[in-house]
Amino acid sequence: MKNLTSLIAVLAIAALTVSAALSEIEQMKADLIGHTMGGREKTWKFQSTDQIKQLVIKSRVEDGRRQVCLLALQLQATNATERYAAEAKVEYWRTPTGWKVDHVGLLSLKKME
C-alpha cells in the first residue's frame, strides 16, 4: 500500500510538471500573436495560435529583467497547406505586470517538404 501511495504521488508531480510546461508553451504562443519576425525577403506575422503547429524552447537565458529564448517552430498559415520550419530569437522584458515580448527575431525560415 505504501508503494502504491508513493507511485500515485510521483505520477501527480509528473502530471503537474507536464501541465506547467504545456501551459508555458501555450502562453508563449499567445505572446507571439501580433508580432512579426523577419524582413524583406522572409517574413512571418503571427496572427493566430493555430498557425503555430509546434513550438520547442531550445534555450533560455534570463538575467532578472530580460529573458532571451531560442525557439524551434513549425508554422502553417491559415487556409494553407504548406508548413514552414523556423528558428526564432524572442526577447522578453520584465514589466510590473509580468514578462512582455520586446522583439521577435527570425533566424531561419524554410518550407518543409
Tens of pLDDT, residues 21-65: 558 999 999 999 999 999 888 999 999 999 999 999 999 999 989
Name the average pLDDT for the chain: 85
Considering only residues 4 and 35, tell me which one the structure prediction assigns the higher pLDDT.
35
For residue 22, give the amino acid letter. Answer: L
CA–CA–CA angle 95, 96, 99 (5° rounding): 40
Name the residue among 104, 109, 42 with its Cα closest to residue 70. 104
pLDDT category of residue 78 using cuts at 50, 70 and 90: confident
**Which residues, 6 or more positions from 5, have their beta carbon under 8 angstroms from its beta carbon?**
none
- Tell the burial category of 83 from Cβ atoms under 10 Å away from its Cβ (0-12, 13-18, 19+): middle
Overall average pLDDT of the 57-76 stretch: 96
CATH number for the domain that contains residue 31: 3.10.450
Does residue 7 carry a pLDDT above 50? no
What total of structural domains would you count in the chain?
1
Note the pTM of the prediction, 2 decimals: 0.76
The range of the structural domain enclosing residue 106 comes to 2-111
pLDDT of residue 1: 64
Residue 11 zone, left/alpha/beta (φ > 0; ψ -120 to 50; rest): alpha
- 64 vs 13: which has the higher pLDDT: 64
At 30 the three-state DSSP class reads helix
- Residue 90 contacts residue 104 (beta carbons within 8 Å): yes
Residue 113 has pLDDT above 60, yes or no: yes
Q: Which three cell numbers stand for residue 76?
A: 502553417
pLDDT at 6: 55
